[in-house]
Amino acid sequence: MRLLRKSTGFFLIIMFITLFSFTLIGLINEFNAFQSITSIVKESVYEEDFVFHSNSYIYDEDGEIISDVYSNENRIYVPYNDIPQMFLYAMIATEDRNFFSHKGFDMAGITRALFINAEKQGIEQGGSTITQQLVKNIYLSNERSYNRKLTEVLYAYHLENLFSKEDILEFYANTIYFQNGVYGIEAASRFYFSKSAKQLSVSELAFLAAIPNNPTLYNPMISPENTHRRKEWILTKMFEMNYLTEEQFKTAKSEKIALTPTKKVDRFPDYITYIHFELEQLVGEQDGFNTEIALATTTEEKSVLLEKRRLRVDQLLKSGIHIYTGFQSEKQNQVIQTIKKHLPENDIQGVAVMINHYTHEIVAITGGKDFNKFDFHRGFQAYRQPGSSIKPLLVFAPYFAETNSPINKSISAAPFCKDSYCPQNYGGSVYGNVRIDVALKHSYNTAAVRMLDEITVEKGFSYLEKFNFAKTVDEDYRLPAALGGLTFGVSPLELTKAYTTFANDGIFQDARGIQKVVDQNGKLLYQWEDKPKQVWSSEVNEKMLNLLTKVVTEGTGRKANFTSSYIGGKTGTTNEFFDLWFVGLTENYTTGVWVGQDQPQSLASINSRSPHLLIWRDIMKE
């Protein structure tokens, strides 16, 4: 009975082969004569389908990779000329010997597979060509059925007419799966051997070529013995097809394979999280999304535009872009360790932003202690009241610019009241007339409010507006703003950026993390086009540098002082010690430090030790 079933099976298979062959030949011959299934296939295949995801990279200022950006598919797309020829030979020798002569399908291979399937009484082999396997990877499922096989053949035939053999090999080598989330030969080489595929030996290439046939069975991380056995078989097939000389064959067979697996590069989560944010802003700015978002009249319209911008960035990251930054790992590590050192308390947070004020680049930024990637980032997402750290920007520099007063001009620090607003100095102290430089270095509140009132709130804010603080609103235009009384506040990044103006002769230029974004071929895609703005004159700026130095050497910022060719800055403390600030500069860098709790509470218990000043001092010492 079993023999009869087998004989019947072979007979049916032979009949199917005959019918299939004649049908397929007929379809091909009549391809241009009538609308058929191949026409449907043709209409379903687009060249865009063969644009594949590739890893993107973020680099530091020295060109070292600090983040390898991909989600589920680890792929490094490489062109045909960068794919090792021996790898292609290995795949052809074992998967598709007639690759260069068939038109997408191999009748001999299909026939052989059909007989084996009849022998096993099931679908054991597919007889698929490399082109068919490419079709399956892109368009079809892994279902094993004759209907799917016919569809696969028709798709493959059309691909062979649409692309060259080299194109198909390029697509194939970049799409096949190598287990452990790795796709394509280049990513596989770097993942398993920590080097480019072009650097691999014949034996190593054959070893990798073993995996895609059955990624689970031949997973080198779990079953290396299986991978080695198939590698030996692949080398033999390559030798049989004269892809290897006898000497190459013997050398490859005797070579010992040593895996040196690498993990995904994803360091410095604080900085990387910020760069992802800035990339979205950069793309939004240059592709017009930001303008449209600003003009949106409804929440729904704005949400749609935000999603379009996000999808555009996601598309870019999947295309394999290279993002170059001004990041300095030594500075970043120093900032993180310094904050931990001076803020051992679990419930108290601290962040710092460090900017090279000559290059206008953000060289370090933290999101908080023990920060995890894409968490809430206090460096640029936390908006807090700036306290007296706003005075140089909103009050003193504008006052000099409007009145042309000298720094030794006398100003009243006596009690002040206007429209029921009566600010007090720290500790309730009362003063008389003081010099302007003394008023800043000791941060007398009544003097600052009186100065803003003299030049008018509107005039003071006309200078502050040039710094692009994101959350200043009309309600902020009032005298309490002189002491940092803002509706939403400012972020550490914003405030630090604004202070770079003092290092640049009164000129403000937005500081950025991203230098440029290029595609896989090095073509420039995006670059910031910030234009410098003269906020106040060189004469005003010189006065401010003088005053900021006195804050550090003689005033409220003394604990931040150390020997430097230039040093200056300003402290800021909000009501009930909810926030502690210090923003200052030396010859090369401007750095801002914020200390506080996520849910504002008094920091009176640590205020006396001035952690914000000590953090800034230790960061800025070189």
Measured CA to CA, the distance from residue 330 to residue 328 in angstroms comes to 6
Query: Is 605 annotated as catalytic?
Result: no
Whose CA is closest to 397, among 546, 221, 594, 182?
Answer: 546
Residues 6 or more apart whose Cβ sits within 8 Å of residue 1: none
Backbone angles phi, psi at 526, to 5 degrees: -140, 145
Note the residue count of the chain: 622
DSSP-derived 3-state class of residue 528: coil
Query: Catalytic: which of 128, 189, 203, 388?
Result: 388
What is the separation, in whole angstroms, between the first and last Cα of the chain? 89
Helix (H/G/I), strand (E/B), else coil: 35: coil
Distance (Å, rounded) from C-alpha 386 to C-alpha 390?
6
CB 460, CB 452: distance < 8 Å: yes
* Angle of CA points 162, 163, 166, to nearest 5°: 170
Is residue 188 within 8 A of residue 173, CB to CB? The reply is no
Distance, in Å, from the CA atom of 373 to the CA atom of 267, rounded to the nearest integer, reads 9
Assign residue 121 a region (left: φ > 0; alpha: ψ between -120 and 50; beta: otherwise).
left
User: Does 388 qualify as catalytic in the annotation?
Assistant: yes
Residue 167, token pair as written in the block: 């194109």
Quote the DSSP letter at residue 256: P
Q: How many CA atoms lie within 13 A of 577 on its CB side?
A: 14
Contacts of 285 (CB under 8 A, 6+ apart): 528
Q: Which of 54, 95, 203, 280 is catalytic?
A: 95
Residues belonging to the active site = 95, 388
